[in-house]
């Protein structure tokens, strides 16, 4: 992450004076409740005209709570223990092929009819929509289509048989957003006329702990059509491209644009793109992992992401930093305050992967990357400790790069004072490590051995003489072997041979990066108070996570 001594001290002083960086005070924050851009066209599914345009028909069913067989938690924390009895709903009508032919049909105007018996009650609404060629004068082809719904009181939304993407900490989208709050689900980012979507909505009375006397009804239901890129609250910002070599043209398009997709954070870091289509990133100062989705929604994925100790006030950055995914798609986290690397299991259980080397506690793990064989490499500078290298709780006499392989923690190197960003070459023959040290701003390249050790470490690129207080932070690599480095004054792009091709600069300094979107050609920047993105010509090397 930002592991640097000089700027860390400066940042700590700034945070002591103001809880939010200056940039966050001048740029409107994109929060979970921030509105998206205005759509180019709308189909109102509460009107005969709108439902007719999508060739749809609303259907309705009450829902009952029934008692069913189940099992208590077992040693694996899953329902593998002794048999028990619990409750479920019937019908379970989220499946795309669910037969609702015998359900009551209701006219669009009937969505406002109060339904159910009040108190603790649930019901289902279903409709199949077919995208038209045009909505008014707007051509649908290639657009982004968002289903927006407000149910009195709560709703969950299934599309084509899936309640997804659905992640820890998520509010909105397919999950319950809040009391009478809008659910927004992206149906497609590349609409095609004739494309069909089966939508199922579970309505619920609430609050559940104090069931009200009122009934369930749909306040609004629309299909919102956006021009490409307009579904979220995305703002174009100034981009400076300093082209040092003509070869940069193969990497950065001539018409490249930089966009701010979310802002208002304390210090963003450690991004990773999830195959389900969203970005996870850390705010180590706020002790939080956030989730950003392409429809512009930001939610807390994990609170207290790095520390919850009584002395947390002593830390500048107690939270998580680097994030990545293993081959099974499980999130792996560098926790600053807890001074360890952990994996979050599907059950929510936290598995500690590494917290000590030869019996001594790690410093504050910073960035990390999985090799395709499952070996985990991570950097461990002291930047997350309250008093940095002078912290009395510091146990290791060095800052190291480590490899966790076959259950054993191997010291890769301890030659750098501030090991920070870390990445592999596309063929995994080389390991790149950036050094946050104002006196030695270098990117090192090591030859990788199968056992997690390295050989023939060499300076791949030296930025020590470059102006600016920043040293080396995040490091990423594209599929052609180009190396992207958060360095002094901007985001440096280096060829596989170590030639400086150019530097990208935005409104804020990019401290780390992640390759995102379906094709892997969008580079997301975590840049102090904000998240930015830029489309490039070459896809990046991403974690080996399976869907």
- Domain residue spans of the chain: 5-34+232-535, 41-226
Indicate if the pLDDT at residue 168 is higher than 50. yes
d(CA 414, CA 416): 6
Confidence band of 4 (pLDDT split at 50, 70, 90):
very low
Q: What is the DSSP string of 74-97?
A: -TTSSS-SSEEEEEEEE----STT
Contact of 268 with 281, CB cutoff 8 Å: yes
Tokens 């005969």 belong to residue:
48
Question: Measured over all CA atoms, what is the biggest interatomic distance in the chain, rounded to whole angstroms?
Answer: 75
Q: How many other C-beta atoms are found inside a 10 Å radius of the C-beta of residue 466? A: 16
Indicate if the pLDDT at residue 417 is higher than 80. yes
Q: Nearest CA to 261 among 36, 538, 545, 494?
A: 36
Indicate if the pLDDT at residue 234 is higher than 70. yes
Q: How many other C-beta atoms are found inside a 10 Å radius of the C-beta of residue 519? A: 10
Question: 305: alpha, beta or left, given left = phi > 0 and alpha = psi -120 to 50?
Answer: alpha
Indicate if the pLDDT at residue 11 is higher than 70. no
Mean pLDDT of the chain: 91
Contact of 229 with 157, CB cutoff 8 Å: no
Indicate if the pLDDT at residue 407 is higher than 80. yes
Question: 164: alpha, beta or left, given left = phi > 0 and alpha = psi -120 to 50?
Answer: beta
pLDDT at 19: 31
d(CA 489, CA 471): 9
Share of the chain above pLDDT 90, in %: 83
Contact of 413 with 454, CB cutoff 8 Å: yes
DSSP state of 359: T
3-state SS string for 322-355: EEEECCCCCEEEEECCCCEEEEECCCCCEEEEEC
What stretches of 223-358 show up as alpha helix (H) in DSSP? none
Tens-digit pLDDT profile for residues 436-487:
999 999 999 999 999 999 999 999 999 999 988 789 999 999 999 999 999 9
Q: Any idea which architecture 41-226 has in CATH?
A: Sandwich (2.60)
Q: Tell me if domain 5-34+232-535 and domain 41-226 are identical in fold.
A: no
Confidence band of 229 (pLDDT split at 50, 70, 90):
low
Q: Is the peptide bond before 207 cis (omega within 30 degrees of 0)?
A: yes
pLDDT at 544: 86
Mean pLDDT confidence for 39-58: 96
Q: Which of 169-178, 382-391, 503-512 has the lowest mean pLDDT?
A: 169-178
d(CA 261, CA 236): 9
Tens-digit pLDDT profile for residues 79-128:
999 999 999 999 999 999 999 999 999 999 999 999 999 999 999 999 99
Tens-digit pLDDT profile for residues 389-403:
999 999 999 999 999
pLDDT at 408: 97
Confidence band of 547 (pLDDT split at 50, 70, 90):
low
Indicate if the pLDDT at residue 33 is higher than 70. no
pLDDT at 546: 66
What stretches of 212-343 show up as alpha helix (H) in DSSP? none
Q: How many residues does the chain have?
A: 547
Tokens 């205005």 belong to residue:
38
Q: How, if at all, do strands 442-448 and 430-435 pair?
A: antiparallel
pLDDT at 461: 98
Tens-digit pLDDT profile for residues 276-306:
899 999 999 999 999 998 878 888 999 999 9
- CATH fold of the domain at 5-34+232-535: Neuraminidase (2.120.10)
pLDDT at 6: 42
Indicate if the pLDDT at residue 9 is higher than 50. no
Query: Three-class SS of residue 14?
Result: helix
Q: Nearest CA to 57 among 199, 177, 166?
A: 199
Q: Which of 31-35, 337-341, 345-349 has the lowest mean pLDDT?
A: 31-35
DSSP state of 469: S
Mean pLDDT confidence for 305-311: 94
Indicate if the pLDDT at residue 421 is higher than 70. yes
Indicate if the pLDDT at residue 34 is higher than 70. no
pLDDT at 16: 31
DSSP state of 439: T
């Amino acid at each position: 992450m930002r592991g640097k001594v000089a700027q860390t001290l400066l940042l700590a002083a700034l945070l002591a004076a103001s809880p939010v960086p200056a940039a966050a005070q001048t740029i409107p924050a994109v929060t979970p409740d921030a509105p998206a851009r205005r759509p180019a066209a709308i189909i109102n599914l509460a009107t005969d005209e709108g439902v007719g345009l999508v060739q749809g028909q609303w259907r309705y069913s009450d829902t009952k709570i029934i008692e069913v067989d189940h099992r208590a938690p077992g040693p694996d924390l899953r329902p593998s223990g002794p048999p028990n009895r619990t409750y479920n709903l019937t019908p379970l009508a989220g499946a795309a092929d669910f037969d609702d032919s015998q359900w009551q049909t209701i006219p669009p105007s009937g969505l406002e009819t109060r339904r159910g018996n009040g108190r603790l009650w649930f019901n289902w609404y279903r409709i199949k929509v077919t995208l038209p060629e045009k909505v008014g004068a707007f051509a649908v082809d290639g657009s982004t289509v968002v289903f927006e719904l407000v149910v009195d009181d709560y709703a969950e939304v299934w599309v084509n048989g899936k309640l997804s993407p659905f992640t820890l900490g998520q509010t909105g989208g397919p999950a319950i957003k809040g009391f009478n709050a809008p659910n927004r689900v992206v149906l497609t980012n590349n609409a095609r006329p004739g494309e069909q979507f089966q939508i199922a909505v579970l309505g619920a009375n609430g609050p559940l702990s104090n069931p009200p006397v009122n009934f369930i009804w749909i306040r609004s239901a629309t299909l919102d059509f956006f021009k490409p890129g307009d579904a979220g609250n995305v703002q174009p910002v100034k981009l400076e491209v300093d082209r040092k070599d003509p070869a940069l043209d193969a990497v950065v398009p001539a018409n490249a644009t930089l966009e701010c997709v979310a802002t208002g954070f304390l210090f963003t870091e450690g991004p990773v793109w999830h195959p389900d289509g969203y970005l996870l990133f850390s705010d180590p100062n706020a002790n939080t992992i956030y989730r950003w989705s392409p429809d512009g929604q930001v939610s807390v994925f994990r609170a207290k992401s790095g520390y919850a100790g009584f002395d947390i006030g002593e830390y500048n950055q107690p939270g998580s930093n680097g994030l990545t995914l293993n081959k099974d798609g499980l999130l792996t986290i560098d926790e600053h305050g807890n001074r360890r690397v952990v994996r979050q299991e599907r059950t929510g259980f936290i598995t500690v992967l590494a917290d000590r080397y030869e019996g001594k506690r790690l410093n504050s793990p910073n960035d990390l990357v999985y090799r395709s064989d499952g070996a985990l490499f991570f950097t461990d500078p002291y930047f997350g400790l309250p008093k940095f290298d002078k912290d009395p709780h510091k146990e290791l006499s060095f800052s190291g790069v480590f490899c966790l392989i076959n259950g054993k923690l191997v010291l890769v190197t301890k030659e750098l004072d501030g090991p920070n960003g870390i990445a592999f070459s596309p063929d995994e023959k080389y390991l790149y490590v950036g050094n946050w040290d104002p006196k030695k701003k270098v990117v090192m390249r090591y030859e990788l051995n199968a056992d997690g050790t390295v050989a023939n470490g060499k300076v791949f690129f030296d930025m020590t003489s470059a102006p600016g207080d920043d040293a080396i932070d995040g490091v990423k690599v594209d599929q052609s072997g180009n190396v992207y480095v958060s360095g002094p004054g901007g985001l440096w792009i280096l060829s596989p041979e170590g030639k400086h091709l150019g530097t990208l600069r935005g409104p804020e300094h990019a401290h780390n990066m992640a390759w995102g979107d379906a094709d892997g050609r969008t580079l997301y920047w975590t840049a102090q108070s904000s998240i930015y993105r830029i489309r490039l010509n070459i896809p990046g090397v991403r974690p080996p996570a399976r869907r």
